[in-house]
Structure 1
Amino acid sequence: MSNQFIAKEPVIEDYWRAIILFGRNVASYKFALAKSLLSLKPEAGQLLKLSDLAIPFSTYLAEHLRHSPKQITASSSKFLEACKRYGIDEPNQNRLIEETVKLGFNNVIDAFHIVGAGEVAKKFYIDERVVNNGIRITEEFSRLIERIQFGNLSAEVESRWNLVETAWGLGISSNLIEIQHDNDEQTLFTLDSARRRKTITSCRGALNGYQKGKCFYCFTDIHADDGSDTEVDHFFPFVLQKDSTFKLINGIWNLVLACPQCNAGEGGKHQKIPTLPLLERLSRRNEFLIASHHPLRETLMNQTGSDLVSRRHYLNDYYNKAISKLLHSWEPPKKDMECF
């Protein structure tokens, strides 16, 4: 599925997002490394020493450990124990940096670019730990910084990190995890083993990467980091929730990000049903969510079906019922090249 995500005339952000969304997760170090690179903004050809990289890397991990102690699938980690022990308080910062250089990068630098069975085609740094005790930034990362989508990437990493650590920390079976949407606050939340509500992340940050930072309908660039031009839309209009026939209308499977014009502008979707080609696009987007695992996979499969055939049947059945109810279909004028 990650290959399908970057198959259509990929741009440099597609490779980055494939790493964040579809790369293997056994520890949260990948997210800390990604956020560190995004915050430091090193230039192409620059040697980024581990001692310099260790400062933001350990700080991000220590911050997350404060609210989510489980940051790895293994039972223990010497490095994470050091992060907990020293925290981010100034008196201990030098000790934490020393421990991070010694232990923190042992696996993540090798594994960062791996998605599925191998590395992505574009790499954002070259490993020079043996000869220079650091990593060498590539031209691809400089290109990433220059792109209009760059402002979205940190929020996407943070949202993905929050989702993964929530799945690890709930202490319940993965097939019982259900991520829900708060329509008023535009956030995703779940319930822990004691049925207490746990807010996870913003809906915009969680969904934006899977849409490649584009409006779901017209493919114009949107900015989910500040939400200034990004609205959470129900593909099948929310008005259908008044009819008990239409269950899970507020489920993640039915949520997309749209520009204000497509959502409710003049000539926009409003309470119409998107056309069948757009339904197929929704199916592809949902398969991206499922392929990313923790914990969106379980939620989407519980909501729409355990296999692709069942999920397609669910969407088609929903479509037929919705179009017979609301009658009018809609699709936007094309503004940009289709990218998923």
Structure 2
Amino acid sequence: MDFYQADPTLENYWRGVILFGRNVASYKFALAHALYEVDKSGSDLVTLEDLAVPFSRHLCEHLLHAPKQITSRGSQYLKACVQFNNGEISQDKLTETTVRLGFNNVIDAFHNVNQGEIEKRFFLDERKTHKGIRLTDNFYQLSERQQYQNLAFETKARWNLVEQAWAMGVSRNLVAVEFDEHNKLLFSRVNERRVDITSCRDSLNGYQKGRCFYCFKPISLIPGDAELADVDHFIPWSAREEVNNINGVWNLVLACKCCNRGVEGKSSHLPSRKLLQRLHVRNEYFIQSKLPLHETIVNQTGNQTTQRKHFLEKNWQAAKNNRLFHTWEPKAEGEATF
């Protein structure tokens, strides 16, 4: 897959799992969160019992606001999580049930993306010999990477997006993900009622590989961080009369503060055609990621790649012609990866 083959870092292989792996249940996201919480100073063997507490906690928390966490009709394991939430079973009983049922498929499937296994494994399955999984050097090296701090935010955002798509029934009701500029949130509408989904920053960051869309400088998702990403309109907001749905996900990118509002930054300029092609590549990552961003981009920009390219070109040209924008390009701060 070109997403991580173009930039084969450990964090991008991990993002491949989170953003592009098949979604038939949310267990993958719960396992990722459990792994984030593993004591990295201890043994590389993590027993299922040790994993069970954080794994089940994250699922139980999500079940409180999103009852649909799997695409099949029912699950004995999720039934136990609901019983725990209702105070009908104890933590010990939930842990025992998680060890027995919770990991049956997710450990086998975790590293599978696009009907094949990614090249970098983050753990080995040792359930038969040691009743757990063994973390690999890849996982420990990943935890030391600059981008590691962003991954939990990205995982939560992806989980929120997927469960909202399930809740709305994507096959029957096309999900339209919209942007609230004031609160920097993605939301959808259900029977005219607004439903907040997740942070826009957290949702977009993984698809940009944790870097500024324009200059490729590393950016952060941590509130208050000096490198906290800005959410920027690629085609400037001032062109909203010429460009329909300028707040659409197709036109939103994450940028460092220097590129977005620095002295030599984009400000109200129009990014160059070269950057328009980059936007197309980024949007095609949404297409590969499936629901609900796939459906949203198709709905906003077209069914076919050629239609989506034409959509971007048409709107870029309309903004340039009618607003007489000066085009702009950034000074590169990192190697281009998309």
Q: TM-score, normalised by structure 1?
A: 0.95
Aligned to 1:269: 266
Q: Secondary structure at the match of 1:232?
A: strand
- Relative to structure 1, the CA distance from residue 321 to residue 41 in structure 2 (aligned partners, 3 Å threshold; closer, same or farther) is farther
Following superposition, the deviation at residue 43 of structure 1 comes to 5.5
Higher mean displacement: 161-170 or 42-51 = 42-51
Q: Where has structure 1 moved over 6 Å in runs of 4 or more?
A: 88-91
Aligned to 1:97: 95
| 2:238 is the counterpart of 1:235 | no
Aligned to 2:309: 312
Distance in 2 between residues matched to 1:141 and 1:147, nearest whole Å: 10
Higher mean displacement: 148-157 or 226-235 = 226-235
| 2:121 is the counterpart of 1:123 | yes
Equivalent residue for 1:198, pick from 195, 200, 204: 195
Contact 2:170–2:292 (CA<8 Å) still a contact in 1?
no
Aligned to 2:20: 22
Aligned to 1:300: 297
1:166-185 to structure 2, matched below 5 A, reads 166-171=164-169, 173=171, 176-185=174-183
Distance in 1 between residues matched to 2:53 and 2:207, nearest whole Å: 30
Distance in 1 between residues matched to 2:128 and 2:311, nearest whole Å: 53
Following superposition, the deviation at residue 171 of structure 1 comes to 4.0
Unaligned runs of 5+ in 1: none
Q: What are the Cα deviations for residues 261-299 of structure 1, in whole angstroms up to 9, with x where unaligned?
A: 000111100111101111111000000011111111111
Aligned to 1:153: 151
CA RMSD of aligned residues (A): 1.6
Unaligned runs of 5+ in 2: none
Distance in 2 between residues matched to 1:216 and 1:75, nearest whole Å: 40
What letter matches 1:160 in structure 2? R
Distance in 2 between residues matched to 1:90 and 1:238, nearest whole Å: 52
Following superposition, the deviation at residue 225 of structure 1 comes to 3.2
Q: What are the Cα deviations for residues 39-97 of structure 1, in whole angstroms up to 9, with x where unaligned?
A: 22535961100000000000000000000000000000000000000139697100000
- Relative to structure 1, the CA distance from residue 159 to residue 227 in structure 2 (aligned partners, 3 Å threshold; closer, same or farther) is farther
Aligned to 1:114: 112
Distance in 1 between residues matched to 2:218 and 2:230, nearest whole Å: 12
Distance in 1 between residues matched to 2:40 and 2:108, nearest whole Å: 19
| 2:221 is the counterpart of 1:224 | yes
Distance in 1 between residues matched to 2:184 and 2:329, nearest whole Å: 24
For these two proteins, the number of residue pairs brought into alignment is 335
Following superposition, the deviation at residue 177 of structure 1 comes to 1.2
| 2:131 is the counterpart of 1:133 | yes
Distance in 2 between residues matched to 1:154 and 1:167, nearest whole Å: 20
Percentage of matched positions with identical amino acids: 49
Equivalent residue for 1:258, pick from 228, 239, 255: 255
Distance in 2 between residues matched to 1:44 and 1:218, nearest whole Å: 38
Aligned to 2:80: 82
Distance in 2 between residues matched to 1:97 and 1:63, nearest whole Å: 15
Aligned to 1:336: 334
Q: TM-score, normalised by structure 2?
A: 0.96
- Relative to structure 1, the CA distance from residue 129 to residue 333 in structure 2 (aligned partners, 3 Å threshold; closer, same or farther) is same
Contact 1:272–1:329 (CA<8 Å) still a contact in 2?
yes
Distance in 2 between residues matched to 1:129 and 1:231, nearest whole Å: 43
Contact 1:42–1:48 (CA<8 Å) still a contact in 2?
no
Aligned to 1:287: 284
Distance in 2 between residues matched to 1:285 and 1:308, nearest whole Å: 12
What letter matches 1:337 in structure 2? E
- Relative to structure 1, the CA distance from residue 172 to residue 221 in structure 2 (aligned partners, 3 Å threshold; closer, same or farther) is closer
Contact 1:44–1:137 (CA<8 Å) still a contact in 2?
no
